[in-house]
Amino acid sequence: LQFAVNYLAYSCTVLVLATSLFFQYRLFQFFDLSVGVVFLAGAYTFVLVAGFDMSLFCKIMFSVAVAGAVELVIIGGVIRPLYRLEILPLELMLVTLALYVISLNVFALLFGDELYRPSIATDSDIIHFSSFVMLDAQLGIAVLAIANIALIGLLLRYTSFGRVFRALSDSYSLTQDLGLLTLPTIALFVGLGALFVGAVGALTSADIGVRPITAFPYVLTAVGAFLALGGQTFRGVVVGTFAVTAGSQIGGFLFGEQWRELSMFVTVVLLLLVRRRYQWSIP
């Protein structure tokens, strides 16, 4: 059962990142690797405010606000202007990768390479169940992921923003020509994605601590989860995430924790091969 709890916390973290990647890919047709920057911004802000005299909720909200501001700068200052210049998706991906590398090194310069972990006693209490234990940060991540699925699912399915999002996914320029609300829709989905990533960064920091390289395995797994089932629908991203993380956890369980990430890659490759062979996708 403890294994299942750890799997759940890991999957939920990856799901939140994969959702953010999904938004960026559907809106701008590229892999936004700068999602790692937003994650680190949330995580390190939480480390900084962990010692402040305020409630845990306020600390997380403050971290989320900083992460949102970072995303705003990246989207408004870099991605959208470049997209308007008709930059290639490959170049956009490289720019975001470079941004991630810059941020990683800036955090390393500011905080060092070592693990920062806010005091568990004050920030993340252990909840004892009959046959397993769970940190409240892990519980928070799980709640966050459920809220993420519910909110995004409802927005995409039942609101006009969801329709504009789908229109933007099909053709950015046509949606603009039709006079649909493109900017608010982009702001809503990208902003939501960033806020969730910032929050999950803060909670991960409370759960296992943070170091500059912490975001990297999560981002890699999220990209794999996004790709595994085609990344065309939000449902596909959710199913893909749980499939890929299950593969990685089982690999880690069978062959040792150190092979967990490699098992993730193997799972993604297997899923891609199956999809290619049977032309199968999540509707």
Partner 1 sequence: MSEYIVHILIQICITSALAVSVNLLAGYCGLVSFGQLVFFGIGAYSAALLASHGYTVVWAVALLLASGGAMLQAWGTAGLKRDDFALATFALNAIFWMILQNWVGLTRGPMGVAGIPSIELFGLAFAGPLTFWIIALSLLVTCFVVAHRLVTRPFGMAMRMMRDDEELAESFGRNTWRLRRDTMVVASVMAAAAGVCQASYVGFVYPGSFSPMESTLLLATVIVGGLGRFWSPLIGACIVVCFPEVLRLIGLGSAHTANIRQILMSTILILAILQNRILHRRSLFGQQER
Among 94, 180, 208, 250, binds partner 1 (CB under 8 A): 94
Cα 68 from Cα 95, distance rounded (Å): 19
The residue within the footprint of partner 1, chosen from 53, 86, 170, 177 (CB under 8 A), is 86
Smallest distance from partner 1 to CB 106, Å: 7
- Check residue 101 for interaction with partner 1 (CB under 8 A): yes
Name, in order, each residue with C-beta under 8 angstroms of 45's C-beta and a sequence gap of 6 or more: 62, 63, 66, 67, 202
User: Angle at Cα 18 formed by Cα 205 and Cα 93, nearest 5°?
Assistant: 100
Report if residue 106 touches partner 1, rule: CB under 8 A. yes
User: Binding to partner 1 (CB under 8 A): which residues in 220-249?
Assistant: 220, 223-224, 227
User: Is 131 one of the binding residues for partner 1 (CB under 8 A)?
Assistant: no
Is residue 114 at the binding interface for partner 1, with CB under 8 A as the rule? no
Q: How far is the CB of 118 from partner 1 (least distance, A)?
A: 24
Nearest to 72 by CA among 162, 198, 171: 198
The burial of 208, by beta-carbon neighbours within 10 Å (0-12 exposed, 13-18 middle, 19 or more buried), is given as middle
CA angle 257, 258, 259 (to 5 degrees): 90
CB of 278 to partner 1, least distance (A): 18
CB distance 221 to 194 below 8 Å: no
Position 250 contacts partner 1 (CB under 8 A): no
| 267 within 8 A of 249, measured Cβ to Cβ | no
Give, as ranges, the residues between 203 and 222 that touch partner 1 (CB under 8 A). Answer: 216, 220
What residue ranges bind partner 1 (CB under 8 A)?
29-31, 82, 85-91, 93-95, 97-99, 101-102, 104-106, 108-109, 216, 220, 223-224, 227, 258-259, 261-262, 265
